[in-house]
Amino acid sequence: MEGVRRRDREGTRQRILDAARGLFAELGYDHVTMRLIAAEAGANIALINRYFGSKRELFAEVLAMQGRFPGVLDGPREELPRRLAEYVAERFRSDWASPVMTALNRSSASPEIHGIIRDRVNSAIMEPLAALLPGEDAQLRAAVATALITGTGTLRQLFTPEELGSPSHDAVVARLTRIFEVCLEV
C-alpha cells in the first residue's frame, strides 16, 4: 500500500513537467534554465535529466502534452472562423493563452529545437486545419490562418491591449471572423 510517499518518482516527474510547461510558455526555450525549472518544481536539478534525458527532450515532452489545437478545430465547420476569431480575440485582451501554444511562439527562434517546433505546429494546427478545408490550395489557406494566429501571439507579447487601442472584444471578434472567413473560403 502506498501512503504519503516522500519519495515519489511519478509525482516529481509531473511537478517538473508542470513547472517546465509554465516557464517555457512565459519565457521561451532559451531563457528557461534547468535551475529555474528545478526551483519551480521543488526538485533537484539532476532529476530533470534523469527523468527526461535533456532540456531539449523535456521541451519535446511538454509540447507533446497537447494534441490538436485545443477546442477550436472541433465543432461545426461553418462556425470555424468564429471559433478561431474567439480564440485569437481572447488572447488579445487577456494574458491567458494555451501554454503550449505560447511556448511554441516564444521558442521558434532557437535552432536547437527547430525541428520539434516545426513538427508540433504542423501536427497540432496546420495539418488538421488544412484537413478541414476543401479546395485546391488548402495548405496555403491553413498556413495563412496559422500565421495570423502565431503573429497575434507575438504581437500581444509586445503590446498591452491599451497600446493596441483597447478595442472592444466584440469588435475584435467581428473583424477577425471576417478575416478568417476570407482566409479559409475556397
Q: Which of these segments, 46-54, 129-137, 141-149, 165-173, binds DNA (CB under 7 A)?
A: 46-54
Which of 127, 130, 148, 126 minimizes the C-alpha distance to 138? 130
Mask for 101-140, x = binds its own copies (CB under 8 A): ----xxxxxxx--x--xx--xx--------------xxxx
How far is the C-alpha of 86 from the C-alpha of 170, rounded, in Å?
9
* 114 lies in the binding site for DNA (CB under 7 A): no
How far is the C-alpha of 78 from the C-alpha of 129, rounded, in Å?
13
Mask for 50-69, x = binds DNA (CB under 7 A): x---xxx-------------
Hey, what amino acid is at 15?
A: R
97 touches which of its own copies, DNA, none (CB within 5 to 8 A by kind)?
none
- Pick one of 15, 27, 66, 128: the residue that binds its own copies (CB under 8 A): 27
Hey, what amino acid is at 178?
A: R
Residues from 2 through 41 that contact DNA (CB under 7 A): 2, 5-9, 11-12, 32-36
Report in angstroms the alpha-carbon separations of 164 from 91, 99, 107, 147, 173. Answer: 13, 23, 24, 19, 15
CA dihedral 34, 37, 40, 44 (to 10 degrees): -60
- Pick one of 45, 154, 170, 173: the residue that binds its own copies (CB under 8 A): 154
- Residue 14 near residue 44 (C-beta atoms within 8 A): no
Binding site for DNA (CB under 7 A): 2, 5-9, 11-12, 32-36, 43-47, 49-50, 54-56
